[in-house]
A and B are shown apart, each in its own frame.
Chain A
Amino acid sequence: MKKTDTAFNMLDAIDEKHIEEAVNYKKKEKKISFSLVGWQKGLVAACLALAITLGVLAMSGVINPVNAVEGTPVPTPRVKDINVLTDFAKSGVRYYKEDSDGVYYYGKPGYDYFESVGSPSRIKGLISPKEFGDLSKLENAYLCVDNMSDYKFACEDGTEFHIMVNYKAWNRYQLDDDDKTIDWYNKANKAFADNMLSAYNYAAKLPEAAEYDPSLFSEDLNDCYDGSTDLILDGGNLVYSYVDGKLSCIWFYACDTLFEIYSDKKTDWVHSLDGWLSDLASMETAPRAAKRLRSISEASWKLALQDIYDRIEYGKETGHITYPDSWYRKDAEK
């Protein structure tokens, strides 16, 4: 008997009660309801009246929306150059840099050690204005370009915060292992953790902005998306998934292939470099990626993993990441 025939026979054997249930399946209705008792109704009415009055006065110029205590206008943070960010997000190019003359350009820098085995197209999704709604309202605007390269923050007050994340990767090719570099690294990680959280908080206020859009991500990522995630931040080689404000999952992404490296659901999960390489060796669905990943030297892998561990370590210190202690130091201890 052929497998397809067996499969057909199995489906044919499904009880009619299950078919009937599917035939008559009704979508869950999304109901929002509340009821108020008498005094609550009065309070709501009073608040509405006050809000309308203030609105009318503000629009007519009778009052200014100022901070009543300090007496100064409430600042509205804005991104300085939203067009650049928008264009960047549309372009699908991962690297975004500014040269010494302040000219923006996009392209592939040669320093990323994954460059030797990947291509810009390996990351098909980027954080885009579409996901974050109106970026001009984002308090700490940021562009998460690639965890292996640059972050750029451009704010209304003219300050720009341009940092190189992943000092260790840089160190290998570009930078000296001095105090200044380490200082950069620490700042970068702080900004990373802080802004990941603020980005989440921002998106959480805009349910439609946090809607997962599969077209922005590759099939690999879509396959991992379970529908319960509030927000996915694609940080380049690392993809972060948040649920209820907490990091729930990190995937490492290289060569069009996604590897789960952290999950808050796997409390006993231990993964090591050897484990990864073993997994790669057994990958049947992505032989090309496996072959290419395996071609990376062990030193590079350790470097990459060390960076991930350090980043998670920092996240733990700042309280932005909670995770089991059991798994993550395995390679670092070697």
Chain B
Amino acid sequence: MDHLDDEEIKRLYSARDERAIEETKQCYGRYILSIAYNILNNNEDALECENDVYLKLWNTVSDKCSADLKTHISVVTRSRAISMLRERNALKRGAGEPENIPVPIDDIAELLPDETVDNEIIEKDELKSLINSFLSALPTEERTAFIKRYWFAEPVKTVAEEMDISQSKAKILLMRTRNKLKQHLKGKGVVI
């Protein structure tokens, strides 16, 4: 059975046609699940996240959206998964259990100033400018690997496969990009 293309799916959302959800699930269901699972590392949570994503798409997508549908789905899925992760960890902390963050956020966090330092001075706008100027200056391959690993929380093995490079090369690429980010942050005075 042929699937609808992205523009047709958007039109279904605009028309408030429930087939929009079915078509999205057909085309992107596995994709949504994989993003959610990489972040949440739990099947049930990933399924719950998937359902939340469909609701969010129902409320946000229309044929007026100029954004690439797959990218929009990625953003929505990640955002929901991260929120769930935070909620989950808040509950665990309340129960006295240790915090558990499966995404490779520590790799990025360790580049940042120590939490004992008052780093609230890093405003959101400043962060946005810092990270995007950094990413824009990177070669495409490095930028893509970085986003796949840290934004999508993909395992290194998956990053390597998707980019058709060896795992060792992917690891090196990521390590060097992190080092460059650290230098970039240093250059901007964020890291001393």
* Residues of chain A having any CB pair with chain B under 8 Å: 1-4, 6-16, 18-25, 27-28, 212, 214, 222-223, 225-227
Contacts and interface: CB of A to CB of B under 8 A. Distances in A.
B175 interface: yes
A3 B166 contact: no
Interface string B162-190: 11111111011101100000000000000
Nearest to B121: A1
A143 B150 CA distance: 42
Interface of B: 67-68, 70-71, 74-75, 79, 82, 101, 105-106, 108-115, 119-120, 122, 124, 127-128, 130-132, 135-136, 140, 143-144, 147-148, 150-152, 162-169, 171-173, 175-176
A2 B108 CA distance: 12
| Interface-centre pick from B119, B127, B140, B163 (highest chain A CB count, 10 A) | B127
Contacts of B150: 11
Contacts of B67: 16, 20
B151 A25 contact: no
Contact of B132 (A3, A15, A24): A15
B132 A14 contact: yes
The majority secondary structure among interface residues of chain B is helix
B108 A9 contact: no
B132 A19 contact: no
Closest 6 CB pairs of A and B: A227-B169, A13-B128, A22-B147, A3-B109, A7-B108, A20-B71
A28 B144 CA distance: 13
The majority secondary structure among interface residues of chain A is helix
A61 B176 CA distance: 58
A21 B147 CA distance: 9
B149 to A, nearest CB: 10
Given A11-B131, A227-B173, A212 B168 contact: yes
Contacts of B71: 16, 19-20, 23-24
A6 B132 contact: no
Contact of B172 (A1, A12, A20, A227): A227
Contacts of B115: 1-3
Given A11-B150, A20-B68, A225 B168 contact: yes
Nearest to A19: B71
Nearest to B111: A7
B146 to A, nearest CB: 8
A27 B127 contact: no
Contacts of B122: 6
A22 B152 contact: yes
Contacts of A13: 124, 127-128, 131-132
